[in-house]
Amino acid sequence: VSSDGEVIVGTTGQFGFVWQRGFIKTFLVNQKYCRVRGVSPNGVFITGEYLEVDTCWNASLNRGFVAYTDAPVIDGTIWGVPLPSIGDGNNHPYCLSDSLGFAVSDTGLIVGTSFMGLQSENRSFVATSWFPLTKLGSHLPGDVDVNSYVYDVSADGQISVGHHDGVAYGAVRWMNSLEENLNTVFRPRPCGLAFANSISRDGRYIVG
């Protein structure tokens, strides 16, 4: 939901929807079934993923997208911008990999996760931001199957939060692409912080 409560997004069946100022529009993205996961605090951008067929593997995969909430729906379709995966073309130049958009800032910076690719040394999902395409955290070759996910971002796009399997307990924060274990920052008692699911618009409050 947007900060002013005027825009709500989600998924109904295999269609995304935007509830905006009392009106609901349901749609596909790029003529494909989709899931809408996030709306920017100012209500301008939406993100999520749609199903795409990769001709390299002849299989369906998730492709993240970003679109405007006010984009016209033509024949039940909103045309969004596809989000590439860090793993696109890894050791196989024409192959695509999964990407998922979870949240978007007021500036249009999208955060989520993308798959490194079945043919890569790192077969994990890695926390990713787009525009520019950036891998968050400290994933190195050989860091196999250590997944990380970024679930939310502040309004200015400077602070993101999520989960990383490679750190103790798992809850993390990224500031300017540098990763912090929230268990080290806040020293919770008596148990560890596992998932950071959301962050306030100003970046001061984290829930999970």
Alpha-carbon gap, residue 57 to 55, rounded angstroms: 6
Q: Do 68 and 51 contact (CB within 8 A), yes or no?
A: no
Give per-residue pLDDT as tens, 81-129: 999 999 998 767 778 899 999 999 999 999 999 998 877 777 889 999 9
Q: Is the pTM of the predicted complex or chain greater than 0.85?
A: yes
Region 46-68: mean pLDDT is 90
pLDDT digits (tens, 9 = 90+) for 67-76: 999 999 999 9
Integer distance in angstroms from the first to the last C-alpha of the chain? 17
What is each CA distance from 110 to 50, 129, 131, 152, 158, in whole angstroms? 15, 6, 7, 9, 11
